[in-house]
Amino acid sequence: MSDLNLILLGPPGSGKGTQGERLTEDFDLPYFATGDILRAAVRDSTEIGLEAKRYMDGGNLVPDQVIVEVVAEALDDEATADGFILDGFPRTLGQADALDAELKRLDRALTAVILIDASDEEVHRRLGGRRTCRKNGHIFHVTFDPPKNAGVCDVCGAELYVRDDDKPETITNRLKVYHDQTEPLVGRYRELGLLKRVEGSLPPDQVGDRIRALLATLRMEEEL
């Protein structure tokens, strides 16, 4: 397999970030989350980064085309010669069309789109159970990693609270946006033969093992 160009797809809280970091370590590939790419472009004062900054400073959403250009700028780099991992992009069919055009311009092609799937109930359980240290940001979970004393950070003794992002109404809204805007990508990439589904409710190590097995199979198929 000449290069390994991957998209991680799935609802919020499905574990895309965790698996993206593991894939980065396993395959030594650059990992791009949309927010990180935007912040890096702004920090480096690239032409596109400065354009994005104007929207961000004004409290406005960065338009799709600017996001696409920021992503394309990141992909058009020596560091991606052996591949890349995209997380959080594309989010819509329009962004997917734009990404296809940019990849064609760069003479690149997607290897696979890995759907880390999880039910709405599982997402609520994961995100809704998080508790954050008000002082230093340490994160606990009422089920998976509970503090020794309820509501108190084990590390510094500060209060643990529920962030706005982890409140039930916010999680419900984030899931609605995912189902309305991002989930149609599942059908698109399935039709293209690129979609590989992994059960995201499994423990992270098992999810990682299944993803590595999928990629090993793709490598073997290419060699046949």
The one catalytic residue in 174, 190, 197, 212 is 174
Q: Report the distance separating Cα 91 and Cα 73, nearest Å.
A: 18
Given a contact cutoff of 8 angstroms between Cβ atoms, the answer to whether 26 and 97 are in contact is: no
Would you call 163 a catalytic residue per the annotation?
yes
The one catalytic residue in 53, 130, 131, 196 is 130
Would you call 91 a catalytic residue per the annotation?
yes
Residues in the chain: 224
User: Three-class SS of residue 35?
Assistant: helix
For residue 197, what are the β-bridge partners?
A: 115
Would you call 130 a catalytic residue per the annotation?
yes
Would you call 16 a catalytic residue per the annotation?
yes
Q: Report the distance separating Cα 122 and Cα 128, nearest Å.
A: 10
Would you call 197 a catalytic residue per the annotation?
no
Q: Report the distance separating Cα 68 and Cα 49, nearest Å.
A: 12
User: Three-class SS of residue 206?
Assistant: helix
CB neighbours of 148 closer than 8 A, spacing ≥ 6?
Answer: 154
User: Three-class SS of residue 16?
Assistant: helix
Given a contact cutoff of 8 angstroms between Cβ atoms, the answer to whether 87 and 32 are in contact is: yes
The one catalytic residue in 16, 22, 53, 131 is 16
The one catalytic residue in 134, 163, 188, 197 is 163
Just list the catalytic residues: 16, 91, 130, 163, 174
